[in-house]
Structure 1
Amino acid sequence: MSVLILALVAGAVVGLALGGLGGGGSVLAVPALIYLLGFSPVAATTASLIIVAATSLSSLVAHARDGNVRWRSGLLFAAAGVGPAMLGGLAAGRLPAAALTVAFSVIAALAAWRMLRPSRPAPDGPVRPARAAGAGAGLGAVTGVLGVGGGFLAVPALVGVLGLRMKAAVGTSLLVIIINSLAALAPRTGTADGLDWAVIAPFTGAAILGAWDGKRLAAKLSGNRLQHVFAYVLLAVAAFMLLDTLI
């Protein structure tokens, strides 16, 4: 199978997951880039940030049109993650490839665990600024180091910490993901020349189209069923990456 076809198929799957689940789909981008398309772990995390930012921007337009983006809350939450995202982007280039892969497999397993857990209701009490800032900073750091959008972390945080309803949390998380991804890309600009844009461009295009189809698919199928199937796929990916690195 040619590299172009692999890039298109992988991008479509990532986009379908992002559009259908509102988070977690980007976790598949890094292993797809490494194991299917031959990217190094550092290059894969950088390319993933580009793909995630572009795909999230496309999806944000649709969610904003539906009134599901809380701009002020999202901007404030994302602001706490800008610095950690930039520091994480700097640190990623200095970490051994094996350490990046192991850390990524742990995050993928965490994403799956999050999806298999029942959703928590929004809190009734006031928002705690320190807790919100801590959650935003942690999300930024994860995005910076591992090149994942972090929607699987952002959505529960926006619900549990800021008290947003699920639809608003999904839409607002896209805004947070875009800002964090761009912040994480800033210190990596020197490595962009070494990226294979002939792979990244079709991967991104397929992911954007897939995200729109994923949103329509989610309206027809059970959200819980989609989430559980994807969670088990993520667990399998995490286990494979961990075993491949350690054995």
Structure 2
Amino acid sequence: MTLLLALVAGALIGLSLGALGGGGSILAVPVLVYLLGQDAGQATTGSLVVVGVTSLIGAVTAHRAGNVMLARGVTFGVVAIGGAAAGANASAHVADPVLLAAFAALMLLVGGGMAFRQVRHARQFSCGHQSEAGSRPRRPTLDDPIIAFREGFMCDCPRAVKVLVTATVVGLLTGFFGVGGGFLVVPALVLALALPMTYAAGTSLVVITLTSAAALAVRAGVGTTPAWTLVATLTAASAAGGFAGVRLADRIDTTKLSAAFTVLVLGVAVYTASQALPALV
């Protein structure tokens, strides 16, 4: 019965990732805790496997489609590794109720952000502010380096600081909560590296893969061991669901699906808070 729940939950997580392009991984922790009986430490570690594998598969697919700026994604991800390691180490020393309460707050923030974007999109659509079909942004080039050593030392220091801060925050969240952090990585890539949204979404998967791997390596050294059979089942089902979601995206109304997923995230956040907050008292 537990493996069946893992299959169903993993498929739903993958479907949301494939059809909506992100967000589903944030459900992995509450699924592991409340459906599959893992403690918070085990769940946040196991979630990194689900997130990392799913992101790697997505990154390869996006790269083949030409939507990944690999050099920039690797650079941002490498900078974020320090934050991921620090976050993973800190998470191992936090009590389960505190970790789950903080995770509930994060889910509420993500769900609120998703709802805000959907309302704004609906208003723009009703006002006729739609982008023209086929208006794919120009692929960015690497002719604007932040730091260069050609013909002397050159540094765009304000931009370098922005990259360092945003990458470190992304890494901290990934390591501490065991989530992909795509909701933060995508806008960070847009703001810090000036990537168009089309390329930021694909490139973010490279960043998430690197930070998840770094955080998982740290977790492996602090004795947090999840139930690997459940994690493997959840991961396999998520990967399969992701493939199905990509195909469904062209056949279903993703606007309605996104709205339903937002409600689901907010509902799970409220439930997680209701379970975690009383334990803090």
TM-score > 0.5 by shorter chain: yes
The match for 1:199 among 230, 247, 266 is 230
Q: 1:155 to 1:220 in 2, by over 3 A?
A: farther
Q: How many angstroms does 1:192 deviate by?
A: 6.4
**Structure 1 range deviating more: 149-158 or 202-211:** 149-158
Shift, 1:114, TM fit: 2.2
Kept in 1, the 8 Å contact 2:45–2:225? The answer is: no
Q: Distance in 2 between matches of 1:104 and 1:218?
A: 28
**2:272 alignment partner AA:** M
RMSD of the TM alignment (CA)?
A: 2.1
Equivalences for residues 132-151 of structure 1 within 5 A: 132-151=163-182
Deviations 1:119-156, CA, capped at 9 Å, x for gaps:
89x9xxx8822222211111100000000011111122
Deviation at 1:106, TM superposition (A): 1.1
Whichever residue aligns with residue 110 of structure 1, its letter is L
Aligned with residue 226 of structure 1, among 229, 246, 257: 257
Q: 1:160 aligns with which of 180, 186, 191?
A: 191
Q: What does residue 30 of structure 2 align with?
A: 31
Q: Does 1:189 align with 2:220?
A: yes
Q: 2:160 aligns with which of 129, 136, 141?
A: 129
Tell me, in whole angstroms, the C-alpha distance in 1 between the residues paired with 2:247 and 2:235: 19
Amino acid in structure 1 at the alignment position of 2:84: A
1:3 aligns with 2:2: yes
* TM-score, length of structure 1 as denominator length: 0.92
The equivalent of 1:54 in structure 2 is 53
SS at match of 1:168: helix
Task: Please say if residues 4 and 202 of structure 1, whose CA atoms lie closer than 8 Å, have aligned partners that are also in contact.
Answer: yes
Identity rate, percent: 41
Classify the secondary structure of the residue corresponding to 1:194.
coil
Deviations 1:34-58 (A, max 9, x none): 0000000000000000111111111
Residue deviations 1:52-108 (CA, integer Å, cap 9, x gap)? 111111111111110011111111211221101001111111001011001111111
Deviations 1:137-189 (A, max 9, x none): 11100000000011111122222332222221111111000000011111111
Higher helix share: 1
Amino acid at match of 2:47: S
* Segment drifting more, 14-23 vs 127-136: 127-136
Stretches of 4+ moved more than 6 A in 1? none
Give the letter aligned to residue 101 of structure 1. L
Name the residue aligned to 1:71. 70
1:186-233 Cα deviation digits (max 9, x unpaired): 111135673212211111110101111111222223443332221111
Which ranges of structure 1 fall in alignment gaps of 5 or more residues?
Answer: none
Q: Which residue of 1 aligns with 2:44?
A: 45
**Does structure 2 conserve the Cα–Cα contact (< 8 Å) formed by 1:80 and 1:134?**
no
Provide structure 2 residue ranges, at least 5 long, that are not aligned to the other structure. 122-136, 138-143, 147-158
Q: Distance in 2 between matches of 1:62 and 1:166?
A: 17
Report the number of matched residues. 243
Larger radius of gyration: 2
Structure 1 residue matching 2:221: 3-state secondary structure: helix
Counterpart amino acid of 2:275? D
CA contact (8 A) 1:135 1:157 kept: yes
- Post-superposition shift, 1:112? 1.1
Counterpart of 1:158 in structure 2: which amino acid?
Answer: L
Query: Which residue in the other structure is 1:173 paired with?
Result: 204
> Structure 2: which amino acid aligns with 1:60?
A
Separation in 2 of the partners of 1:237 and 1:54? 23
Residues 69 and 171 in structure 1, CA contact (< 8 A), matched pair in contact too: yes
